[in-house]
Every structure is written in C-alpha cells, then in structure tokens.
A and B are shown apart, each in its own frame.
Chain A
Amino acid sequence: MEVENEEIIRRFLLGKMSQEERFEFEERFVAEADLYDQITAVEDELIEKYVRGWMLPEERAEFETVFLMTKKRRDRVEFARTFINQVTGIVSDTVEGNAPKRAYFAAIRHWLSIPKVALAGGMAILVAIVGVWLFSRLFAPNQPEVAFQPDNGAESTPATMKPTEPVISASPANTIKTPEPPANVETKQVPTATKTPAPTPTPAIEQPVRNPVLALFAGNLRSGGSNSVLRLSSNAKAATFLLNLPTTDHSTYAAIVTDADGNTIAQFNKLKASKGRVRIVVGANQLKQGDYMIRLDGSNVSGERESVADFQFRVMQ
C-alpha cells in the first residue's frame, strides 16, 4: 500500500486544497479504499491532538474554525474525547506531560475488569496489573482516593463479592498478607463534559474531573448501620453504580433511582447484567446530598417484570 503524504491529507482535512486539487483527491479516496483508511487515520490523530490539548494555539484555532463546522464532526470529536479518556483515564485538559499516572492505572484496572475474559487471559492480566501497581506504587505513592469507603466496611463485605473482581481497591499486598475484605468503592476518571469546541486553553493545571464509582449490594444497610456512601466532588459529572445481583436469572433489568422522598431521580430500562452485576450511570446534577434508593427489577423468562433487589446509598458532597 502506498502511503500518502500526511501533509497532503492534513491539507485536505483542513480545507486548504484548491477546488480542482480537492476534486481529484476526492475521486481518489472514493476509488481507493486504502487511501480512505489513511485519511481516517490521520483525521483520528488530528482529533486526538485536539482533545488532548497537543495543538499549538494557531493549529487549534484553525481546527475549530475549519474542522468543527458540522455537528457530526463535533460529535465525532466529543466521542473521541470520551473514548480516549475512558481508555486512558487521562483527563483531556491536563497539562502536557502531567497526566496523572494513578488515574491511568485505575482506569486500566477498571476497564480490563468489565469483559467476559477467558480465565487464562484474566490471570495474565491480573499478574500484569499487580506488576504495574507495584511499579506505580513505587513511583507515585500516597495518591488520594476520590470515592469514599464508609466505616466498618470490613464486617459488611458481602459474601457474594468475587475475589477476582478488580473493582476492589484493596492493594495486592494486602490481598496476599492480610486478606482484608474489599472496599466497595473504586475511582475512575472519565471525561469532562466539555463541549466541542473546547475553550482555547491557557496552560494551567485543571482539577481532573473525578466521577466516582460505587459498588452496591442487595441487603441495604451495611452492618455498621451506615449507608454506602458516595462522595461526589463538586466537578463530578456522573456517578457509576455497580449493582451486584443476588441472582442472575433475568434477561434484562430495569432500575429506578429515587430520593428519600420517593421522587424518581433516574430510570433505566433494558439493562444487561455483566459479571453478575448491572451498571448504571447517573448524572451528578441529579444527585444532591441525601439518601437514595435504587430499585432493581428484572424480566423473567416469561417476560414478566419482578422485583430483584433494592440498594441504598447516601450522597455526600
């Protein structure tokens, strides 16, 4: 495959070609799938540079003026921002070179935990994560957790928690020496809800957005009498709840989040369980300080809806 000069592709993408040159180039990429693939790859890289703040101010201005003209492309850029942040856990507006390593590892740990993985693959990844964790521990110690683990977590750790689930934020060392029960809270960094085009930055360090993740178990209150607590920082955009299922007999689930007064805050339908739990994401703007309940229903084999479990949590800001 002949590799097209990247500069030519950039000129095309940024509208710098003459009409004639552009028509010729368009004829080529419609006819040549390989060239089209190259253009999309270069476009991806341009978008990546933009969302990660790697463009010079004039490049950025040009990109915003020329490239972000259509809604579809703005959506593409927004998706890329979310995608890259989700994969790396690195917040887009973090100053170059200062990407928070702790968040990155947390993100990998979280992300690699989602799927249906073969046992062998899972073990290999676990070994890699432990290695990475030890490395990060050596070079980036004492990084603060964002989400909050309530008191008396030890006594209340549910028996249903699978030991291999990397949601657990207990350290590998602890897991080996003193098998402390896992905390039910993990942190992850997810993208800011910054709309494209993002504001032209001055290179100042911004507080990364920390969107907490809270694992909940049926059975409501923890043994110490306190609710599971979700600490919501002021700049959080969303909170993820991992609803651990007492049974996995249902094809789909529906969740309703209500506040202490019984008002519905959010509702989710057609949820699928993965690894014995259902995941929902609630916008931070809907969560004020106070107590909440999540009612989870499931559809049984006959398609009838039945109650599966209730989960309680408290939001602290």
Chain B
Amino acid sequence: MDKGFDALLETLDTDRDRAANMYLRLRERIERFFEWRNCEDAEELADIVFDRTAKKIADGEAIKSVEAYCVSVAKFVLLEDRRNAFRKEELDENCSNADSGIELNPDAEDLAALQLQCLDSCLGELEMDDRVLLVGYFDTDQQTMISKRKRLAASLGITLNSLRIRVHRLKSKVGICTKKCCEDA
C-alpha cells in the first residue's frame, strides 16, 4: 500500500479497521462537499484531496485534525477546479465542436429496465424488518407525512431525525447494490 495513504490511516486511528471505516466516511463527506458545490467530477476531486493530505502526512507534517485539514485542502482544490473550468469555457468558446451538453443515450430505456431489475433484486436482499420499515416510511401523503413518520419513529423508539437517517442509509445501501448490479450486468 502507498506509504502516504498508510500514514493517513494511521493518523485517523491506530486501529486499522476503524481507520479504514473513518476514511470511507470522511471520503463520502468530501465527495459530497464537491457535489454540493456543483462539481461534476466530485470523486476525482476527492482523490486529489486525499492524495495531497496523505503526501503532507508522509512528509512529516503534524496534522491535528484530518477532517479539518481535508476540508481546507478541498477548498483549494475547488478553487483550482473553478479556475480550470473557467479556462476550459474560454477555450470551448473558440471551438465549434465543443460538447453541447446534451446527453445522448440511445439505450436509455434498456438501462432503465436494467436498473429496475437490479433495484428489484437489491430490495429483495434487504432484511424483512428493513423492508417493512421502508414501506411504512414511504406509505404516506403530503398532509400526513410528518405525523405518520413521527408515529413510526416513536414505535421504533427513535427520533424522527434518526428515522430519516436510517432510511437514508437503507436507500444508499440499495443504491450501491443497484449500481454494482448494473455494472456487473
């Protein structure tokens, strides 16, 4: 494994498994940082952030909080990305064959069908309790949404906020499974 990345994990936690888990969660937040800034290539930008952070740590820089350091680096990377995008726009103005931005996908229906099939299969892999929870959560209308979800949360002995987060995680889990299934197909 890359020495810098090893050092980064070591800084996050001395326990390897915990460190790996922390890294994945931090990476997700950094990716969303870029996504919420309307960056199309959030994953690549997050790679840059972690490469730079890992290099600094490997070079002996003492970092108290990896999270705080990463977000600082992310801000710089964001600014660089904005500058590059601006330059690219200038170049594109002189290029008649520049990407029109229109997404052409002749197989859209096939992909939709495949995604549906994968989603179906991934939902089927959830535990029964989770499935019942999802059905209960989404079985609502606009008027009763909050009250019904509060009741559902109370019945589970958790707060509404925790319920939402639980549902979000289930949805993410199914989303990852669906994506993988589509890629494997």
- The judgment on whether A and B are partners is yes
Chain B 131-153 near chain A by CB (<8 Å), digits 1 or 0: 10011001101110000000000
Contact call B174/A71, Cβ cutoff below 8 A = no
Chain A residues in contact with chain B, CB under 8 A? Answer: 1, 3, 12-13, 23, 26-27, 29-31, 33, 36-42, 44-45, 48-49, 52, 54, 69-73, 79-80, 82-84, 86-88, 96-97, 99, 104, 108, 111-112, 114-115, 117-118, 121, 125, 190-191, 193, 237-238, 240, 266, 268-270, 272, 274, 279-285
- Report how far A54 CA is from B144 CA in the complex, Å: 12
Our pick among A26, A111, A266, A281 for the contact of B71 (Cβ within 8 Å) is: A26
Give 4 closest A-B pairs by Cβ, nearest first: A114-B124, A41-B164, A283-B109, A281-B117
Contact call A281/B116, Cβ cutoff below 8 A = yes
Min Cβ gap B41→A in Å is 9
- Report how far A43 CA is from B120 CA in the complex, Å: 23
Q: Provide the residues of chain A in CB contact with B116, threshold 8 Å.
A: 82, 86, 190-191, 238, 240, 281
Q: A38-B161, A79-B178, A190-B116 are in contact. Are A274 and B135 (CB under 8 A)?
A: no
Stretch at the interface among B9-17, B31-39, B51-59, B91-99: B31-39
Q: Provide the residues of chain A in CB contact with B120, threshold 8 Å.
A: 86, 114, 240, 279, 281
Contact call A96/B165, Cβ cutoff below 8 A = no
Q: Provide the residues of chain B in CB contact with A69, threshold 8 Å.
A: 38
| Residue B125 lies at the interface, judged by CB distance under 8 Å to chain A | yes
Q: Provide the residues of chain B in CB contact with A38, threshold 8 Å.
A: 161, 165
Nearest chain-A residue to B111 (Cβ)? Answer: A283
Our pick among B39, B131, B138 for the contact of A115 (Cβ within 8 Å) is: B131
Q: Provide the residues of chain B in CB contact with A54, threshold 8 Å.
A: 142
| Residue B82 lies at the interface, judged by CB distance under 8 Å to chain A | no
* Interface residue SS majority, chain B: helix
Min Cβ gap A283→B in Å is 4
| Residue B84 lies at the interface, judged by CB distance under 8 Å to chain A | no
Min Cβ gap B144→A in Å is 10
Contact call B135/A88, Cβ cutoff below 8 A = yes
Contact call B67/A31, Cβ cutoff below 8 A = yes
Nearest chain-B residue to A275 (Cβ)? Answer: B124
Chain B 61-84 near chain A by CB (<8 Å), digits 1 or 0: 000010110110011000000000
| Residue B4 lies at the interface, judged by CB distance under 8 Å to chain A | no
| Residue B45 lies at the interface, judged by CB distance under 8 Å to chain A | no
Q: A97-B142, A115-B131 are in contact. Are A281 and B174 (CB under 8 A)?
A: no
| Residue B8 lies at the interface, judged by CB distance under 8 Å to chain A | no
Other than the given A87-B135, A115-B125, 18 more pairs (CB < 8 A) read A3-B159, A26-B36, A29-B29, A30-B68, A33-B29, A41-B165, A79-B178, A83-B119, A83-B175, A86-B120, A86-B123, A87-B123, A99-B141, A115-B126, A115-B131, A118-B128, A193-B109, A283-B113
Q: Provide the residues of chain A in CB contact with B142, threshold 8 Å.
A: 49, 52, 54, 96-97
Our pick among B26, B74, B138, B168 for the contact of A37 (Cβ within 8 Å) is: B168
Nearest chain-A residue to B137 (Cβ)? Answer: A87
Of the candidates B68, B123, B167, the one having the most CB atoms from chain A within 10 angstroms of its own CB is: B123
Nearest chain-A residue to B161 (Cβ)? Answer: A3
Q: Provide the residues of chain B in CB contact with A12, threshold 8 Å.
A: 36
Contact call A86/B119, Cβ cutoff below 8 A = yes
Contact call A88/B33, Cβ cutoff below 8 A = no
Contact call B168/A44, Cβ cutoff below 8 A = yes
| Chain A to chain B contacts (Cβ below 8 Å), 10 pairs | A29-B33, A38-B161, A40-B165, A41-B168, A52-B142, A70-B39, A83-B171, A88-B138, A111-B123, A283-B109
Contact call A111/B119, Cβ cutoff below 8 A = no
Our pick among A83, A104, A238 for the contact of B174 (Cβ within 8 Å) is: A83
- Report how far A33 CA is from B139 CA in the complex, Å: 28
Contact call B161/A104, Cβ cutoff below 8 A = no
| Residue B48 lies at the interface, judged by CB distance under 8 Å to chain A | no
Q: A3-B161, A82-B115, A96-B142 are in contact. Are A270 and B124 (CB under 8 A)?
A: no
Contact call B168/A104, Cβ cutoff below 8 A = no
Contact call A238/B178, Cβ cutoff below 8 A = no
Nearest chain-A residue to B103 (Cβ)? Answer: A71
Q: Provide the residues of chain A in CB contact with B175, threshold 8 Å.
A: 79, 83
Contact call B70/A283, Cβ cutoff below 8 A = no
Contact call B124/A30, Cβ cutoff below 8 A = no
- Report how far A30 CA is from B167 CA in the complex, Å: 21
Contact call A87/B113, Cβ cutoff below 8 A = no
Min Cβ gap A311→B in Å is 17
- Report how far A14 CA is from B90 CA in the complex, Å: 27
